[in-house]
């Protein structure tokens, strides 16, 4: 059992650490096909480096420089040590760099190498890409010191092929190649870090927007339903002894409103749990996912307001069919306006709901009450401390519309909103709202 767990952890570590050379601590992943492509590319490069060094170890004196004169197996061993670690540089960056650097220095001492430490530069690139800054910088410093010492010692001390300045120039070229590769790795790393931060920021913004949307939905569901329930419960308590039939009607209205609110709450919680409409109803914790409310559900909303004692009239004039997002926004605006009428105007209030949608999709919503009922709290209290009007403003702003709310000169309260046609507002947001 312990061995199996160790294998799983090791496999997860390799999957986490090796991906496009991205730092393992950034927590990103890449597709398996991409990793296989990188592995194949590194293997091809490693094979090419080994082949080049094998040919250099076996060639004769043709360029006037000192040649390798040792046994053939030693030349092959050095060539393999110089090139083979490149194939696994993304898995073990520091060990690969150490082996390649040591083998390159040995190749310099044995007069095999003719390149400016290209394989060392390839390993240094990955070290700069995936290792922390301090570790990568220390590895770079050690690499530069060892490579310069090997080049100067091999070309100017052990088998001199020219003056000291020529050996120093070769060492400078090696430094340039290795330093450029290391710098390229750091640049790519910083770009990926910035991209990861941007991705996290966008994810946090999306999460904040989703929380706000869920808060609006829960407020609309709970506020409207509880307002109706409180009003009908007060009526039932007031007439319980004198008019039993009216009490039963109020209790039935409370039961119906509670069931509807519970169904909407289950639907909202189902969205939070990530449930889909395809789930079986018999599954534990499953919620029946119905369509989001829209303009077709306004008559039922008006009926619930009338059950709470607010005489409500609905007038609609729809020239075109609205998408799900704007239709949901209109439904919630009307729902909040009627909830305020129930809470603040009281029973006996007359309310007129007018919705007009022209041929371009420009929607106008008006909810006007005469304030003739028995108000529980003042309109000013709702404007000052409530969240309903804030939610309405957020919905209207989401679609680039306008909202006007306030008391009427001749009494009552008015809510007027306009949602512009779909092309004029944030279509991406509306599509996201409609598909939620």
pLDDT per residue as tens digits for the range 28-60: 334 445 567 878 888 888 888 888 877 777 665
State how far the Cα of 355 lies from the Cα of 36, in Å rounded to an integer.
Answer: 59
Tens-digit pLDDT profile for residues 119-152: 999 999 999 998 988 999 999 999 999 988 888 8
CA angle 78, 82, 85 (to 5 degrees): 125
Tens-digit pLDDT profile for residues 279-338: 444 444 444 445 677 888 899 888 888 877 888 999 999 888 888 778 888 988 898 888
The token pair at 21 is 């050379």
The predicted structure's pLDDT at residue 366: 93
The predicted structure's pLDDT at residue 386: 43
Residues of the chain with CATH 3.30.565.10: 295-436
pTM of the complete model beyond 0.85: no
Neighbours of 22 (CB within 10 A): 22
pLDDT at 381 over 50: no
The predicted structure's pLDDT at residue 271: 58
- HEC profile for the chain? CHHHHHHHHHHHHHHHHCCCCCCHHHCCCCCHHHHHHHHHHHHHHHHHHHHHHHHHHHCCCCCCCCCCCCCHHHHHHHHHHHHHHHHHCCCCHHHHHHHHHHHHHHHHHCCCCCCCCHHHHHHHHHHHHHCCHHHHHHHHHHHHHHHHHHHHHHHHHHCCCCCHHHHHHHHHHHHHHHHHHHHHHHHHHHHHHHHHHHHHHHHHHHHHHHHHHHHHHHHHHHHHHHHHHHHHHHHHHHCCCCCHHHHHHHHHHHHHHHHHHHHHHHHHHHHHCCCCCCCCCCCCCCCCCCCCCCHHHHHHHHHHHHHCCCEEEEEEEECCCCCHHHHHHHHHHHHHHHHHHHHHHCCCCEEEEEEEECCCCCEEEEEEECCCCCCCCCHHHHHHHCCHHHHHHHHHHHCCCEEEEEECCCCCEEEEEEECCHHHCCHHHHHHHHHC
> At the top level of CATH, which class does the domain 295-436 belong to?
alpha beta
């Amino acid at each position: 059992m312990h061995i199996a767990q160790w294998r799983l952890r090791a496999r997860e570590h390799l999957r986490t650490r090796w991906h496009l050379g991205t730092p393992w601590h950034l927590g990103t992943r890449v597709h398996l096909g991409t990793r296989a492509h990188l592995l194949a590319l590194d293997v091809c490069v490693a094979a090419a480096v080994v082949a080049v060094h094998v040919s250099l170890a076996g060639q004769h004196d043709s360029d006037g420089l000192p040649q390798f004169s040792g046994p053939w197996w030693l030349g092959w061993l050095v060539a393999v040590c110089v090139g083979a670690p490149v194939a696994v540089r993304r898995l073990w960056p520091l060990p690969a760099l150490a082996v390649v650097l040591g083998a390159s220095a040995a190749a310099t001492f044995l007069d095999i190498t003719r390149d400016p430490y290209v394989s060392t530069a390839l390993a240094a690139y990955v070290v700069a890409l995936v290792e922390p800054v301090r570790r990568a910088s220390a590895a770079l410093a050690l690499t530069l010191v060892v490579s310069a010492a090997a080049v100067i010692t091999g070309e100017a001390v052990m088998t001199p092929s020219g003056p000291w300045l020529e050996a120093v120039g070769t060492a400078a070229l090696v430094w340039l190649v290795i330093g450029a590769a290391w710098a390229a790795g750091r640049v790519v790393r910083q770009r990926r870090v910035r991209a990861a931060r941007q991705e996290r920021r966008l994810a946090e913004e999306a999460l904040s927007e989703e929380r706000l949307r869920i808060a609006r939905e829960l407020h609309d569901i709970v506020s409207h339903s509880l307002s109706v329930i409180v009003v009908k419960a007060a009526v039932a308590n007031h007439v319980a002894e004198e008019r039993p039939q009216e009490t039963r009607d109020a209790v039935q209205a409370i039961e119906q409103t509670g069931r509807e609110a519970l169904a909407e709450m289950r639907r909202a919680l189902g969205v939070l749990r990530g449930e889909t409409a395809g789930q079986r109803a018999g599954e534990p914790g499953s919620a029946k996912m119905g369509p989001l409310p829209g303009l077709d559900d306004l008559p039922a909303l008006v009926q619930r307001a009338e059950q709470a004692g607010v005489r409500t009239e609905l007038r609609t004039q729809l020239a075109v069919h609205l998408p799900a997002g704007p239709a949901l926004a209109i439904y919630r605006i009307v729902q909040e306006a009627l909830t305020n009428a129930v809470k603040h105007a009281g029973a006996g209030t007359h309310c007129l709901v007018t919705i007009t949608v022209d041929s371009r999709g420009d929607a106008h919503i008006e909810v006007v009450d005469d304030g003739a009922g028995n108000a529980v709290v003042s309109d000013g209290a709702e404007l000052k401390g409530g969240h309903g009007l804030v939610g309405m403003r957020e919905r209207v702003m989401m679609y680039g519309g306008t909202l006007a709310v306030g008391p009427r000169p001749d009494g009552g309260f008015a809510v007027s909103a306009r949602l512009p046609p779909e092309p004029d507002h944030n279509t991406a947001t509306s599509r996201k709202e409609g598909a939620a």
